[in-house]
Amino acid sequence: MTITQIAVFVKVAESLSFTRAAEELHMTQPAVSHAIAAIESELETRLLLRDRKRGVALTDIGERLLPQFRAMLQRMDQIRQQVAADKGIDVGSVSIGAFPSASAYFLPTVIREMRENYPNLHFELSEGTADEIRRGVHEREYDVGLVLLPAPGLDTIQLAESRMVLLLPDGHRLHRREKVAIRDLEHEDLILCRGGHEVAVLNAFEQEGLEPNIRFTTHNVSTMVGMTAQGLGIGIVSEMALSMHPHSLQVRETVPSIVRSIGAAVPSLEEASPAVRLFLETAGRLFVEQEGFIVK
């Protein structure tokens, strides 16, 4: 099988559509079908199921082989980048996955810096939940992911630690407190903004022997800010995510603090391409020593 055929299989497997894969690869649909048939013929097994009603689906063996095919493509890209670097040319691509608040906070700064210094690099950005991004890095769907730490089974560098804070409605009784004990939230209506920090919040309440009264859960910080402003509850959100959403509400730290580490993760530092290494080096230089965060 050829690298081109493998790239076609990965694209079809990810899009679950021969038509969409052909469009994205700038190939004809018969050429895509031929590439898949060639791989299946060589391996003597079916990797994809075609159904006129349900479309395309991966077989069990196709699902298991997909991460390995992705790894082969990443290794070929690494070879091309190393040859280009030897010629004094910085080229390559980096596929990056991140959960929304980390994406908005870290990526614009890192990518701007890299584009200024390495204009020939190409970036592919994807967002998902913290769990989805970590799983995507494991399965080599992304070259690098911004994840919550620890991330077992991945090589990581810590970029920062983000504190969870409380957002108080106007006139709330807890305005008088400089910091709010978690025990003081026992009977309060809470609005939790998802982003991967849910486990840390639940664990903090459990350690205090309390059950949080989470009345609403949002996926968007702006929604949580608006609901808090309407007096629907106390918002719980990461300080990093909140910093990108202007508001006039009162913010308080919790006692004890609820903190999660954020880092960049790759399947293997040893196997990382030159472009991925440049991304990690740039992110570390820009954020690891930045004031305002707790870092190693």
CATH code at 9? 1.10.10.10
Residue 146 lies in a domain: no
DSSP H helical ranges for the chain? 3-15, 18-25, 29-43, 60-86, 100-117, 130-138, 198-207, 221-229, 239-242, 274-287
DSSP H helical ranges for 124-260? 130-138, 198-207, 221-229, 239-242
Determine the Cα angle at 206 with ends 202 and 211, to 5°: 75
Token pair, residue 246, equals 């202007």
Last residue of a domain, one of 30, 55, 80: 80
**Which CATH number belongs to the domain containing residue 194 in this structure?**
3.40.190.10
Residue 143 lies in a domain: no
**Cα–Cα distance, 197 to 188 (Å, whole number):** 19
Give CA separation, 274 vs 6, 36, 146, 216, 271, in Å. Answer: 22, 30, 18, 44, 9
pLDDT in tens, the chain (296 residues): 888 899 999 999 999 999 889 888 888 888 899 999 999 999 999 999 987 677 789 999 999 999 999 999 888 888 877 777 765 556 778 999 998 889 988 999 999 988 888 888 889 999 988 889 999 999 999 999 999 999 999 999 999 888 999 999 999 999 999 999 999 999 999 999 877 778 889 999 999 999 999 999 998 899 999 999 999 999 999 988 898 888 999 999 999 999 889 999 999 998 888 889 889 989 988 887 543 333 33
**Cα–Cα distance, 127 to 240 (Å, whole number):** 17
pTM for the full predicted model: 0.67
Full domain range(s) for residue 76:
1-80
Residue 97 lies in a domain: no
**Cα–Cα distance, 35 to 272 (Å, whole number):** 28
Q: How many CB atoms lie within 10 A of CB 68?
A: 11
Whole-number CA gyration radius for the chain: 23
Residue 110 lies in a domain: no
